[in-house]
Structures are given as structure tokens and as C-alpha cells.
Amino acid sequence: MSPKNAAAFRKLLAPYIEHGRKAGRAPARRSGRTTASRQRSGDIRAWAKQHGLAVSERGRIAASVVEQYEAEGRR
């Protein structure tokens, strides 16, 4: 690129460079599970088993099971 074209190119990019920001690292993610949420999941699983509902020992609890648990006044 000739010096003349390089200067014109820099002039065209100047507004973008002026308003741009440096890329950085993404903030560290926190773990999503708390002791309270683990305890609640355990309570829901125990309640579901007592009521004959099928729930796995690990993984996500079906929304319908959580809704039934909450509808019974447990939170």
C-alpha cells in the first residue's frame, strides 16, 4: 500500500478506532448451584418418591414434578 493510500485508509478507519474498545477476557462464571438449591432438589426428589412420581437420582427434575410439589404448599 502506498503512503498516500495508507493515510487515506487510516483516515477512514479513525472513527471506528476512536469508538472501539479493547477486547478482554469474559468475566469468570460462578457455579450455578448453591447449597440451598441442592437441598431443595433433594427435598423435591424425596417428596416425589413418596408420592409415586418417577424422578432420577441426578439431573434435572421435570417441571411438572416441581409444579406439583409447589402446588402442595411446599417451597
Domain span at residue 46 reads 32-75
Interval 52-69: pLDDT, tens: 999 988 899 999 999 999
pTM for this model (two decimals): 0.55
In a domain, 11, yes or no: no
Interval 9-49: pLDDT, tens: 999 999 999 888 888 887 877 776 788 888 999 999 999 99
In a domain, 44, yes or no: yes
In a domain, 26, yes or no: no
In a domain, 45, yes or no: yes
In a domain, 51, yes or no: yes
Q: Give residue 74's pLDDT band: very low, low, confident or very high (50, 70, 90).
A: low
In a domain, 23, yes or no: no
Whole-number pLDDT of residue 75: 60
Number of domains in the chain: 1
Return d(Cα 69, Cα 47) in angstroms, integer. 7
Using alpha carbons, select from 61, 27, 25, 57 the residue that is nearest to residue 70.
61
In a domain, 66, yes or no: yes
Give me the residue label for grid cell 441426578.
Answer: 58
For residue 69, the domain's CATH number is 4.10.320
